[in-house]
Amino acid sequence: MRIFSGFKGPMLNWPRVEAVRDVPEVLEELHKTWKLCVATNASDSYEEEIWGALRRVGLNQFLDKVYCSRIIGHRKPSREFFEHILNDLGVNRSRVIMVGDDFESDVLGAVECRIHAIWFNEHSRESKIGEMFRTIHNFKSLPRALDSFRTRSRIMRQESHLPCTFVR
């Protein structure tokens, strides 16, 4: 979802909401073989309000679950935030890939918990690549970045599973 700095309160109530370019098409394709979850630090919204904002732009149909720091009681990049999601999903961390636009909170938080991550950096050409993370600048690059982890770790894609968390 695109953040508009002039709007306050729950995104559901903003006069304007929109998905980031290419996100609907990419999530529609990925949803066929991945379980897709939102993992957010949104402090103004509860999960139902987040679902409402996602419905306004048609992304709700591609998502399986929403995890909100307001409900979890911990914020990204805390280990407790990511461990809560892993425990709730009941999957091994090797099957989860965090996708987010905040390198510190999303990527480094995930990596600290030994979860692979992809930094979606649409605002600059800066790239960071490590053993546990990649960078993409265009959301259409996401499927290829996800496959790079699958190929490297030889984990087979299974039907089951941000910014989203992707579970194999």
The whole-angstrom separation of Cα 16 and Cα 150 is 37
With pLDDT > 70 as the criterion, what percentage of the chain qualifies? 89
pTM score: 0.88
Give me the amino acid identity at 135. T
Q: Domains along the chain?
A: 11-167 (3.40.50.1000)
pLDDT in tens, 35-46: 999 999 999 999
Alpha helices in the chain (DSSP H): 23-30, 47-56, 69-72, 79-89, 109-112, 142-153
Q: Is the pLDDT of residue 116 over 70?
A: yes
What pLDDT score was predicted for residue 165? 55
Confidence of residue 74 (pLDDT cuts 50, 70, 90): very high
What pLDDT score was predicted for residue 156? 32
What pLDDT score was predicted for residue 153? 44
What pLDDT score was predicted for residue 149? 85
When mean pLDDT is compared across 72-76, 87-91, 130-134, 149-153, the lowest value belongs to 149-153
The whole-angstrom separation of Cα 95 and Cα 48 is 26
